[in-house]
Amino acid sequence: MNSSLALLALPLLFVRAGDVGGETPDLAEGLARIERWTEAGEFEKATALADELLSPTAFERWRTSLEEQGSRVLAPAVDFCAPVLEQLGLCALPEPVRGELFFARGLVRLEAQDAGGAQRGFGLARSLGGRGSLRLAATYDLGVTAFLQGEQWRARILEQPAARPGLIGEPPPVDGEQPDLLAEAREAYLRARGHLVERLRADWRDADTRANVELVQRRLRWLEEQQRRREEQQQQQQDSEEDSEEESEGEEQEGEPSEGGEQQAENGEGDEDSRGETGQEGEEHPEEEPSAEEDEETEGDGEEAGSADPQEIYLTREEGQRMLDKLAEHEEQGEEVKARLYQNRRQRVERDW
């Protein structure tokens, strides 16, 4: 930090700006105070002094607020008109001085573990530092800040119970409350790599930058391995759930008979019941086989019934007379036969006696 705060002292226009130590000191004295308060852990006091040095006038305060808020219209317009505004006396601080003060403010916020404040300070210092060493230092510290953010996310990943054996647990539900640790860590490491590579392009001989780039690459490979293991774990869990569901469905199908089986079972029970009732009735009222005598009587009854109902024959008068005449002839012949028989019998008796 001492080397980072060893900045060139440039003249400032002083105005009364609050009560952070009386009148605003010059740049060298102000940077020395910021360094001492930062080492003592008085981060808010050091930040206030940096803001005071950046805003000696109302216009400078407004300009600084635009830059910190990231205004995409007014802040670039003011920076473009800065030379003219300096000639008019509105811009009390030259851009290189403002860049060094933003860089010092970024160092204070980095020590205070305020990553957002550190990024804003280093980003403004890089944009105002031109092409000199200030720009290189600000770019490098932007990479370091992003890398430290990634390390914080990685520490939270390692704190998870499922991560201790090398596995990452399920990502949190997408409800906006908890972030995905792997995704956040990857994003931070990628930003760090981008800034550090930019620093290497400006000066590839910087050993610290090369070492940090290699470290970031190792962290990214570690995240890829964790992501692969997470996906495998999710796939295994999904397969086990599907297997358990299939087993439960199979058990339900075995335990519950089908509709056809139920109907067959009901029909079978109904047939057994009907057969049982029929058998009981048969036992209570056995059927007797008809005997031969009963058959003959039945046949005789049938014949009598047949003879009892003769068909009526109708004769004409002439046919009836002829029938009577024949009967009379038969009677006469019968009398003659009887007489001859009587005579023959009488003769035999007389001979025997």
**Amino acid 11: pLDDT:** 30
- 6 falls within a domain: no
- Structure-token pair, residue 268: 């079978």
Residue 7 placed within a domain: no
Contacts of 134-139 spanning 24+ positions with Cβ under 8 A: 134/7, 134/96, 134/99, 134/100, 134/103, 135/202, 136/199, 136/202, 136/203, 137/4, 137/103, 138/99, 138/103, 138/106, 139/195, 139/198, 139/199, 139/202
Interatomic CA distance for residues 82 and 168, integer angstroms:
51
- Residue 107 amino acid letter: L
pLDDT at residue 195 above 80?
yes
Tell me, yes or no, whether 120 and 141 share the same domain.
no
Residues 142 and 120 grouped into a single domain? no
Residue-wise pLDDT for 311-349, tens only, equals 555 567 777 778 777 777 777 776 776 666 656 555 544
DSSP string, 150-203: HHHHHHHHHHSGGGTTT---PPPPSSSSS--HHHHHHHHHHHHHHHHHHHHHH-
Per the structure, the count of domains in the chain is 2
pLDDT at 249: 72
Buried b (16+ CB within 10 A) or exposed e, 85-106: beeeebbbbebbbbbbbbbbbb
Domain assignment present for residue 288? The answer is no
What is the pLDDT confidence band of residue 168, given thresholds at 50, 70 and 90?
very low
For residue 116, the Cα-to-chain-centroid distance in whole angstroms is: 35
Give me the pLDDT at residue 102, please.
92
pLDDT of residue 23: 46
Q: What does the buried/exposed string (b/e) look like for 275-292 if buried means 16 or more CB atoms within 10 Å of the residue's CB?
A: eeeeeeeeeeeeeeeeee
Q: What is the pLDDT of residue 272?
A: 54
Q: Domain for residue 118, yes or no?
A: yes
Let me know: does 38 contact 107? Beta carbons within 8 Å. Answer: yes
The predicted pLDDT at position 166 comes to: 41
Residues 36, 117: one domain? yes
- Choose the weakest-confidence range: 92-101, 162-171, 211-220: 162-171
Q: Could you tell me which residues come within 8 angstroms of residue 122 by beta carbon, excluding any fewer than 6 positions away?
A: 102, 103, 106, 138, 139, 141, 142, 145
pLDDT at position 316, please?
74
- 105 and 51 in a single domain? The answer is yes
Which of 93-102, 214-223, 308-317 has the largest mean confidence?
214-223
> pLDDT for 272-284, tens place per residue?
555 555 455 545 4
Work out the mean pLDDT of the chain and round it to a whole number: 72
pLDDT of 169 over the 50 cut: no
Structure token pair of residue 117: 């404040």
Same domain, 220 and 114: no
Q: Residue 64: how many CA atoms within 13 Å on its side-chain side?
A: 24
Give the model's pLDDT for residue 190. 97
What tokens does 258 get? Answer: 């089908």
The whole-number average pLDDT for the span 233-249 is 79
Whole-angstrom distance, CA of residue 196 vs CA of residue 133: 15
Per-residue confidence (pLDDT) for residue 12, from 0 to 100: 29
188 contacts 147 by C-beta, under 8 angstroms = yes
- Cβ–Cβ < 8 Å for 145, 118: yes
Range of the domain at 215: 132-171+178-250
In a domain, 41, yes or no: yes
34 and 114 in a single domain? The answer is: yes
143 and 125 in one domain?
A: no
How much is the average pLDDT of 78-107?
74
The predicted structure's pLDDT at residue 244: 76
Query: Does 182 fall in a domain?
Result: yes
Domain boundary among 250, 279, 312: 250
Ranking 132-146, 182-196, 224-238 by mean pLDDT, the lowest is 224-238
What is the tally of helices (H) and strands (E) in the chain? Answer: 14, 0
Determine the Cα–Cα distance for residues 271 and 264; give it in Å rounded to an integer.
10
- Please indicate, yes or no, whether residues 140 and 239 belong to a single structural domain of this protein: yes
Per-residue pLDDT, averaged over 208-226, amounts to 96
CA quadruple 197, 199, 202, 203: dihedral sign: negative
Percent of the chain with pLDDT strictly greater than 70? 54
Do 109 and 139 contact (CB within 8 A), yes or no? no
Average pLDDT over residues 123-142: 90
| Whether 194 and 147 share a structural domain | yes
308 pLDDT exceeds 50? no
More confident residue, 169 or 187: 187
Reply yes or no on whether the pLDDT at 156 is more than 80: yes
Least confident of 90-94, 126-130, 201-205: 90-94
Q: Does residue 113 lie within any of the structural domains?
A: yes
Backbone torsion region of residue 42, taken as left when φ is above 0, otherwise alpha when ψ lies between -120 and 50, otherwise beta? beta
Task: Specify the higher pLDDT residue, 285 or 146.
Answer: 146
Instruction: State how far the Cα of 33 lies from the Cα of 40, in Å rounded to an integer.
Output: 11
Contact in structure between 138 and 106 (CB atoms under 8 Å): yes
pLDDT given for residue 276 in this prediction: 53
Question: Which of 211, 230, 250 is the C-terminal boundary of a domain?
Answer: 250
Tell me the mean pLDDT in the region 139-156. 96
Q: Are residues 64 and 146 in the same domain?
A: no
| Domain stop point among 221, 250, 279 | 250
Cα–Cα dist 223/170, whole Å: 15
Residues 125 and 137 in one domain: no
The mean-pLDDT minimum among 7-16, 84-93, 202-211, 328-337 falls in: 7-16
Query: Is residue 245 pLDDT above 60, yes or no?
Result: yes
Has residue 205 been placed in a domain?
yes
Whether residues 144 and 70 share a domain: the answer is no
d(CA 15, CA 28): 16
% of the chain at pLDDT higher than 90: 33
